[in-house]
Each structure stands twice: as structure tokens, then as C-alpha cells.
Amino acid sequence: MSKISDRMKSEKPWAILGISRKQYETIKPWKKSNFSRDKFEELLSFFPNEAIQELKLHASADLLTEKLFESIK
């Protein structure tokens, strides 16, 4: 199978992250990780979906906690 057909059948990186394609293109997570886009997407495909969801949950909790304590100051 060619590389293009592999990409067509694999889950899209924005779907793995649980965001829209537009959000994915806007936030450019590969730049924040200092990887090329292709390398970032390849590495992302190695993580189980449960691990990604767990990381998102913790990140959301951290953001909520920060906002809570900012409002108390």
C-alpha cells in the first residue's frame, strides 16, 4: 500500500485530538512540539485514544483551576 492510501485510511490527527480540522490548523500543535507536521502526526498515531483523552482531561482541569485561582486574586 502506498503512503497516500495509508493516510486516507488512518484516522485524521484532528479526530484523534477530538477537535475540528479548522481548530487543528489554527493552533498548529506540531509547531509547539518542535516537530515537523508529518513527524507530529506520525507520533500522534502511536498513542492510544484513551491516553489522548486522559491528557485532554488533565489539561482542561488545569485550565479550570488556573481560572478559578485567577478570579480569587
Q: What pLDDT, on the 0 to 100 scale, is given for residue 30?
A: 94
Tally of domains in the chain: 1
**H-only helix segments in 1-73:** 3-9, 13-17, 21-27, 29-32, 37-44, 49-72
pLDDT of residue 71: 77
13, 41 contact by CB (below 8 A)? yes
Binned at pLDDT 50, 70 and 90, residue 7 comes out as low
Query: Model pTM?
Result: 0.68
Residues 19-56 have pLDDT tens digits of 999 999 999 999 999 999 999 999 998 889 899 999 99
Residue 72, pLDDT score: 79
Domain of 26, in residue numbers: 3-72
Q: Give the span between the Cα atoms of 57 and 20, in whole angstroms.
A: 17
Nearest to 40 by CA among 22, 58, 13: 13
Residue 6 has pLDDT above 90, yes or no: no
